[in-house]
Amino acid sequence: MPTIKDIAKAAGVSHGTVSNVLNRRGGVSYEKIRLVEQTAKAMGYAIDEKASQLRRGDTRTLAVILPSLSERRYADLYTGILRHAQERGYSVRLFFTDDLPYLERRIITEALALKVCGILTVSCLDDHGKDYHPVLSRKVPLIFLERPALEECLCSYSFDMEQASRMALGELDGGDICLVTGEAHFRDQAALRGALCAQLDGLAGALYENQRGGQSPAVHLLLQRETPPRCVICSNEELAEKVLRIYAEGGIHPPVIVTLSSLRPAPSALYHNVTLNYRMLGHEAVGALAAQIEQGQPPISRIFPVSGCTRPFSGPALLRTRTLHVLTHRTPGAEALERLLPRFTGQWGIPVKLHFLSLSEVIEHVTRPSGQPWDVVRLDPSSLCYLAPRYLYPLDQIDRNAAALLRQFLPNLQNDYSVISGRLYALPFDISVQMLFYQRTLFEDAGEMRAFYEATGRTLGIPASYEELDRICRFFSRKLRPESRVQYGSSLAPNNPTSTASDYLPRLLAGGGLSYRSNGCLDLTTPAALSALRDYISYTQCANPEPVSNWSEIAENFVAGQAATAILYAHHASNFVRAQRANVGVEIGFAPIPGGCPLLGGGSFGINAKSEQAEEAYAFIRWATGEEIAPEMAMLGGISACRSVYEQREILDTYPWMGALPASMRLGIRKPILSSNEVDYNQRDFEYTLGEHILKAIAGFETPEEALRNTQKTLDAIH
């Protein structure tokens, strides 16, 4: 491999210039950065990161000690550790003990020899103070996972086994109960046994300890009992699977099985699951370890609560003859729901047909007095306020406790997605909000950063205002800067009036807010409204002029590298993950939109006030918006309103922007834009009118002043 000296000679620059470029230090012009990078690439040079770390005396390597990866909980734990470690710039060295003490002692010595900067361990040892003394004496940060350390002074991240035992028993309705656990000397297993024994009498003779993984006959002893147990509680999924298998092999109907299991979007439907968030445990442990390494903050032991319970499939219901008809726009969430519909029909015996329509067609079907009958409709926040009291069934007339369902959702959603004038009309289905997405590789490229500074005198970074966004988009527009590495600086909204208005309105909100006349009517004749429109028209000149039909197409074009930035409704960003070229969180970054005033999107499910199947429709929307399918729907590309989704690291690792979604949702606005008072008008119609005139202004058929003035006439007529 060529040396820095070889590259310097070939590029005709100094040794120091090459070193500064390759090590990303400043003080080098854009032209020289590009020259050195191109020369190094042509000569096959690659930075040896490990050698660089050794020269700095810092390995930034974490040792992770696990029993194995064959068990799901440890695979999830390791995934949580690895993802967060990589996000924070650490590498991970993985060791396996197979729960053999001599192997763990050997691994401790090996990890210290590698000069790791921290250790995370699921330990099988009995004397942690003694066996980990070499680690503690060298002040290497250390956290014990799952199985708490014997010494209280050592930091442990574990689960609440007392709560787990209560929830496991809550899944049962009495009868003869047996408990199958791992080795009793592990403190998590001992805690579970102790909690269950404290709550049950007579369990002492029904405890089975599975030692050294599958080498113990403990599970097989269940078949040797004089009276077969009615219920079996297992401390992990692997033991639950063993119980099912031995009963199946013996041709015997299995007992009811409750097991502690790792939280996943699609839990097993074979037994009752008391779920523990192993990915989150690993994620949080890395954060605590990094805080100690980087800031000297010693970690504090934590006990993580149980995530929840899931129940096995109880068998198919009798199929009914009448079909529920659901009107919806085609979104990633609706497409995900379509894949899961057979489960609802199997459980409830209710056939469901989704009718995919454009947004305008959905509204036309809802408001038309005659035509194809429908039972359920998905409405977005801009039209829900107007349409719900006229066409939807108040849910509290079907179920007087329906408002309790709102507790499962993220806070602060009900005013935009559910409640109109104090009545509950809908449940949030696929919520969304505008977010900024950007090509991270461009924004963090040393050459682009230098060129941006030379061109603007400013630092290239995530834009906090629209002024900063517009400057960045001009810089990356090849029409304005021919050497740009991408064709366009920005991405336009779909070529329809409503989407165009939703692209403009956040600029108006951020550029001085909304102004209203004395009668409560929105005033679009203000200098702020005109300035925002002129800036928006200028911004469109940095985008691809070819029209696109929907937000998903914009996402696909962005992933293909057409533009440096894109402002999208977040529920369409799942297209990033589907694209093979995308690496979200590494190559694609995300942030709140500039100005901090995003519009809310997505939609809610409500029931036709004239539906003859209101009870069946209510069962459907409870299921479609509820926690039972929320994680799976999220993994299939939808965005659920359920809080529990945002606790699952597997989902957040797959769709990283979802971790930032709740905060952006709190900033979101939609309903109050049209008027400061209640008006009898569909805000979506206003947005359509505004968008029509903005498109005319972009095309040059109207001046910006005329576009706003003509929209204002419509508003004045409403009031």
Q: With a cut of 80, say whether residue 268 has pLDDT above it.
A: yes
Q: How far is CA 614 from CA 173, 376, 573, 621, in A?
A: 32, 9, 34, 10
**Domain of residue 168, CATH code:** 3.40.50.2300
In degrees rounded to 5, what are phi and psi of residue 478?
-65, -25
Answer for the pair 22, 40: CB distance below 8 angstroms, yes or no.
Answer: yes
Q: What is the pLDDT of residue 677?
A: 60
Same domain, residue pair 270 and 302: yes
Tokens of 691: 């968008």
Q: Where are the alpha helices (DSSP H) in 353-394?
A: 359-367, 381-391
Average pLDDT for the chain: 87
With contact defined as beta carbons under 8 Å apart, do 718 and 690 qualify? no
Domain's final residue, options 253, 286, 312: 312
Q: Residue 609 above 60 pLDDT?
A: yes
Assess if residue 460 is contained within a domain. no
- CATH code of the domain containing 331: 3.40.190.10
Structural domain containing residue 20: 4-55
At residue 676 the predicted structure's pLDDT band, cuts being 50, 70 and 90, is low
- Give 600's DSSP letter: E
Of 382-386, 439-443, 553-557, the least confident? 553-557
pLDDT digits (tens, 9 = 90+) for 83-104: 999 999 999 999 999 999 999 9
Among the listed residues 495, 560, 506, the one whose alpha carbon sits nearest the alpha carbon of residue 536? 506
pLDDT digits over 480-512, tens only?
A: 999 999 999 998 887 889 889 999 999 999 987
| Cα Dmax for the chain | 89
Phi and psi at 409, nearest 5°, equal -95, 165
Tell how strand 272-276 and strand 142-145 pair up: unpaired
| Residue 716: predicted pLDDT | 82
| Antiparallel, parallel or unpaired: β 118-121 and 156-159 | unpaired
Residues 328 and 364 both lie in one domain: yes
How would residue 679 be classed by pLDDT, with cut points 50, 70 and 90?
A: low
Spatial separation of the C-alpha atoms in residues 563 and 557, rounded to whole Å: 8
Return the CATH number at 19: 1.10.260.40
pLDDT band at 56 (very low <50, low <70, confident <90, very high): very low
Half-sphere exposure (Cβ direction) of 621: Cα atoms closer than 13 Å: 34
Residue 472 lies in a domain: no
Say if CB 487 and CB 563 are below 8 A apart: yes
pLDDT band at 266 (very low <50, low <70, confident <90, very high): confident
Q: Looking at the structure, do residues 294 and 381 belong to the same domain, yes or no?
A: no
- Residues with Cβ within 8 Å of residue 485, at least 6 apart in sequence: 442, 448, 476
- Cβ neighbour number for residue 148 with a 10 Å cutoff: 24
What is the average pLDDT across 380-391? 91
Instruction: Enter the tokens of residue 652.
Output: 């957040």
Residue 197 has pLDDT above 60, yes or no: yes
Coil, strand, or helix at residue 516? Answer: strand
Alpha-carbon distance of 119 to 112, in angstroms, equals 9
Residue 511 included in any domain: no
CA atoms of 233 and 168, how far apart (whole Å): 7
The first and second tokens of residue 626, run together, are: 């509820």
150 and 227 assigned to the same domain: yes
- Determine, yes or no, domain membership for 413: yes
Lowest mean pLDDT across 15-19, 128-132, 695-699: 15-19
Q: How confident is the model at residue 205 (pLDDT cuts 50, 70, 90)?
A: low
Distance CA 567, CA 564 (A): 11
Residue 145 lies in a domain: yes
Which of 667, 693, 709 delimits the end of a domain?
A: 667
Asked if residue 247 and residue 349 are part of one domain, the reply reads: no
Query: What's residue 159's pLDDT?
Result: 97
Please indicate, yes or no, whether residues 344 and 424 belong to a single structural domain of this protein. yes
| Span of 71-85, 88-102, 583-597, 633-647 with lowest mean pLDDT | 583-597
* Cα–Cα distance list, 534 to 508, 690, 703 (Å): 11, 14, 9
Together in a domain, 361 and 241? no
Tell me what the mean pLDDT of segment 661-674 comes to.
84
Q: How many domains does the chain have?
A: 3
Q: Are 498 and 688 within 8 A, CB to CB?
A: yes
The 8 Å CB, 24+ separation contacts for 292-295 are 292/118, 292/141, 293/117, 293/118, 293/141
Q: Which amino acid, residue 431? A: I
620: Cβ–Cβ under 8 A, 6 or more apart, which residues?
324, 326, 344, 348, 350, 352, 376, 605
Q: DSSP letters along 255-314, please? A: -EEEEEEE--SS--SSSEEEEE-HHHHHHHHHHHHHHHHHH------EEEPP-EEE----
Q: Do residues 283 and 376 both lie within one domain?
A: no
Q: Residue 200: pLDDT above 90? A: no
Look at the pTM and tell me if it is higher than 0.85: no
Write out pLDDT tens, residues 410-428. Answer: 998 999 999 998 999 999 9
Statement: residue 142 has pLDDT above 80:
yes
Question: Which of 469, 473, 471, 441 is CA-nearest to residue 457?
Answer: 471
For residue 539, being part of any structural domain is answered with: no
Q: Other CB atoms closer than 10 Å to residue 610's CB: what's the count?
A: 12
Give the per-residue pLDDT at 48.
54
Reduce the DSSP state of residue 64 to 3 states and report it: strand
Check residues 219 and 74 and name the one with the higher pLDDT: 74
Helices (H), 392-445: 414-417, 440-443
Residue 296 lies in a domain: yes
Percent of the chain with pLDDT strictly greater than 70: 91
Tokens matching residue 642: 């359920």
Burial 84-97 (b: 16+ CB within 10 A, else e): bbebbebbbbebbb
Mean pLDDT of 427-452: 92
**pLDDT score of 54:** 47
Q: Which of 100-109, 127-136, 363-372, 670-679 has the lowest mean pLDDT?
A: 670-679
pLDDT digits (tens, 9 = 90+) for 273-332: 999 999 999 999 999 999 999 999 999 999 999 999 988 876 666 667 799 999 999 999
H helix count then E strand count, the chain: 29, 21
Q: Is residue 76 part of a domain?
A: yes
- Phi/psi region, residue 330 (left: phi>0; alpha: psi -120 to 50; beta: rest), is beta
Six-digit token pair at 708?
């706003």
Q: Give the model's pLDDT for residue 567.
A: 93
pLDDT in tens, 506-532: 999 998 767 888 777 888 999 999 999
- Mean pLDDT of the 554-582 span: 80
CA–centroid distance for 396 within its chain: 31
Asked whether residue 329 falls in the same domain as residue 295, the answer is no
Q: Provide the 3-class DSSP secondary structure of residue 230.
A: coil
> 107 and 214 share a domain?
yes
Same domain as 45, residue 86: no
Same domain, 406 and 339: yes
Among residues 257, 284, 312, the one where a domain terminates is 312
Cβ atoms 435, 655 nearer than 8 A: no
